[in-house]
Structure 1
C-alpha cells in the first residue's frame, strides 16, 4: 500500500507521511521522554509526552500496556477471556483519544483587528467530524456492553466457551505461544487499529497540509456526515433486534421468559426442562424450536449471524468517513482516485472482517457438532448476507426437488411450518 507521493490523491492518505514515520519513531521518542525511573514517576512527563508526541505514539503505548496486562492476568487466572471484558470499551477509548488529542496540545491565541485576542473555542480544538465518529462509537459501546453484561461476560471468572475447547486442541507450548501472540498482542492491535480512520482524519489538520486542504475538512459537518450517522444508527438498531431475538430464544429454550424468570411448571417439561408451549413474549418460538437448540427465525432466518453481519458493517460505516473527507466536491467524478477508497485506514474494517470470519467458522464447527440440524441451517441460510439466503431460496424453490427442499427446511424452521407451506 506504500507508493510514491504522486500515487496518492492526497499526502495524508500516503502512509509514509504520518503513519509509518510515527511507528518508526515510537521507540526513540519514548526513550527520549522516559529515560529513567524519575521520569517514569513524573506526571508532567506523561502530560508532555501525550501533548507533544505524535498521537499514534500514545495509542501504541496504551496498546502495549493493555497487552501486557492481558497476558499477566491470563497467566495468573488461567482465564483466556481477559480481552473479552475489555472489547466493549477499547475501540471507544482509542476513538476518544484521537478526538480529544488536539484539546490537550498547545493552541496559541489569535490576534484579530476586530476582536483583539481570541482563544480557540472547543470546536477549534475538537474536530466535529471526529466528535461525531466518537459519539457513534459510544452508541456502539453502550449496545455491546449492555448485551455482554446481561449474558454474564463481566462476571468474575467468566470465560468464553470457545477458549477451553480450543485449548484442548493444542499442546501446552503451542497454547502459551498462541496466548501471547494472539490473545494478548494481536487482539489488542486489532482493537487499536479500529481507530485508524480517526487517526487519518486527525492528520489532515496537521500543519503539513496547510497548503493542501482536504475537499471536505473535518472541522465542519456536511450532509454526508448525517447520512453516515443515520446508516450507523439503523445498522445498530438492526443489531439490537438480532441480539434481542437471540436473547428471547435462549431464555425460552431454558424455560425462562425474557426477564430470565422461570416459566410456570405447567409450561416446562419436568425431565428435559424444555418449554411445552409458546409464550406471549416469544410468540414465534415453539417447543420444536427449543428442541432444535439454536434460533432460526426472525432476522436469523435471513442470516446465520445477523448481529455479526451488522458488527462488520459498523467498521465499514466508520471507515466511510475517510472517502467522505477526501473525495472531490465536484459531481463529475473526474478527480476520483483509487486512494480515496483504498488507503491504510481500510485495515480497520478488513481486519474486523477477517476476525469475524475466522471466529464464526470456528463457532459453527462447534455448533454443527453440538446440534444435528445445524448443518441443514448452514445449507439453507447464508452466514452473513441476506442476499446469500435469497439465492439459496431460489435454488431450493426452483432447482432442487420438493423432497430435497423439505428435507433441508424442515429441521431449520420446523416440520409444522414446512408442511403447512407444502400443503398450500
Structure 2
C-alpha cells in the first residue's frame, strides 16, 4: 500500500495534521520492521515503499547523526557533518525522487528540485574540496576556538546534541519542502510555468554563490601570491592586500554574499512548496528558519574573529550589510586619519637629536 496521505484538496498538502501525524506510528514501528528485514521476513524494497518517505528520511538523518557522533568522538574531530553538508540535502531530495518512482507517483516537480540541488552539491562540494575540507585531519577552525572557551564536558554535550544530531536533522529539514512538492503532484502532475520560474531562481542563486566564492578564492590566492613572492598579483592593489579581506565584487555590497545566497536557496525551495500547495506558509519552514538562525550565530563568531585580525574590518561592517545590501554603491574605505603628533613628542625627538650630536 502506498504510504501517502489521502488528500482531497491541493491546500491539504501543507497540512501537518494530514501529511505528517498519521504516519508517526510508522516511525515508532520502524526498528521492529527493520528487524523483520534482517530476519528475512520482509524485503527492504517493500518496507521502503510501504513507509512514508518523510518518515524514512527522518530516520536516516537520526542514524547518520549517530554515525557523526561516534566518528567525531573517536577522531576528536568535529567537522564530520561539515564533510557531508554539501551532499546530504541532495541525497534526501534524491530519496524523495526514488520513492516516488518506485511507488509510481508523478515526480516531475521532484525531478526539477533534484536538478538544481545536484548542481548546488557539485559546486559546494568542489569549493569545500579545494579549500582542503576533505584533507585528513582538517577541521573548521571555529570548533577549536569554541573548545578553548568552554569546559570539555560542555563541548562534548554540544557535540552530542547540536553538532552531530541537530545539524544532521537540519540537513534533512532543508529538503523536507520537497515532500510537499511530491504530494502536490497528485493534483498537478506536470510542471507549470511557475515551477520553471522557481527552478530558474534557484539556479541563479547557485550561480551567485559560485561568483561570490570564486571572488573570495581569487583574493586569497592574491594574498598567498604576495606572501610567497612579495609582489602584488595582477588585478589587485597593495591597499587591498594590506587590508587583508575582500571588499570587491559582490563583497562590496554584502559582507557575506555567499552566505546570503545559501540561505536564500533553501528559503526559495520552501516558497516553492508553499506556491505548489497554494499556502501562504507551512510547517516545512522549520528547516530554512533554523538555517537562518544558525547562520546568524556562526557569522557573528566568524566576524568576531575577523575584526580581531584586521583593523579595517569594523569600518567595513559599518558600511556594508552582513547579508542584505544596504546601499546601491559598493564599499569605499574611509580616508586614513593622519597621525597626530603631540608637541611633547616633538620635544622628545628634538632632545634625542641634540644628545646624538
Please classify the TM superposition score into its range, dividing by the shorter chain length: 0.7 to 0.9
Question: Partners in 1 of 2:39 and 2:124 — Cα distance?
Answer: 35
Question: Partners in 2 of 1:11 and 1:367 — Cα distance?
Answer: 47
Residue number in structure 1 paired with 2:342: none
Match of 2:263 among 300, 306, 312: 312
Question: Partners in 2 of 1:151 and 1:9 — Cα distance?
Answer: 44
Q: Select the structure that is richer in helix.
A: 2
Question: Would you say the 8 A contact 1:152–1:158 is kept in 2?
Answer: yes
Question: Which residues in structure 2 correspond to 1:20-419 (within 5 Å)?
Answer: 20-22=21-23, 24-35=24-35, 39-40=37-38, 42=40, 44-105=42-103, 107=104, 125-204=105-184, 213=187, 217=188, 219-255=189-225, 268=226, 273=228, 275-279=230-234, 283=235, 285-327=236-278, 340-386=279-325, 388-390=326-328, 406=335
1:252-295 deviation line (CA, Å, top 9, x unaligned): 1011xxxxxxxxxxxx4xxx54743341xxx1x21221122111
Question: Would you say the 8 A contact 1:99–1:198 is kept in 2?
Answer: no
Change (3 A) 1:92 1:69: same
Change (3 A) 1:172 1:240: same
Question: Would you say the 8 A contact 1:73–1:82 is kept in 2?
Answer: yes
Question: Would you say the 8 A contact 1:235–1:314 is kept in 2?
Answer: yes
Greater alpha carbon shift after TM alignment, 350-359 vs 70-79? 350-359
- 1:391 is displaced (CA, Å) by 9.1
Structure 2 unaligned segments of length 5 or more: list them.
1-8, 338-357
The structure with higher relative contact order (CA 8 Å, sep 6+) is: 2
Question: Partners in 2 of 1:391 and 1:43 — Cα distance?
Answer: 67
- 1:53 is displaced (CA, Å) by 1.1
Question: Partners in 2 of 1:361 and 1:40 — Cα distance?
Answer: 47
Question: Partners in 1 of 2:126 and 2:37 — Cα distance?
Answer: 40
Question: Would you say the 8 A contact 1:71–1:184 is kept in 2?
Answer: yes
Question: Partners in 2 of 1:41 and 1:144 — Cα distance?
Answer: 40
Give the total of aligned pairs: 329
Structure 1 unaligned segments of length 5 or more: list them.
1-7, 108-124, 207-212, 256-267, 328-339, 397-403, 409-424
Question: Would you say the 8 A contact 1:278–1:287 is kept in 2?
Answer: no
- 1:44 is displaced (CA, Å) by 4.7
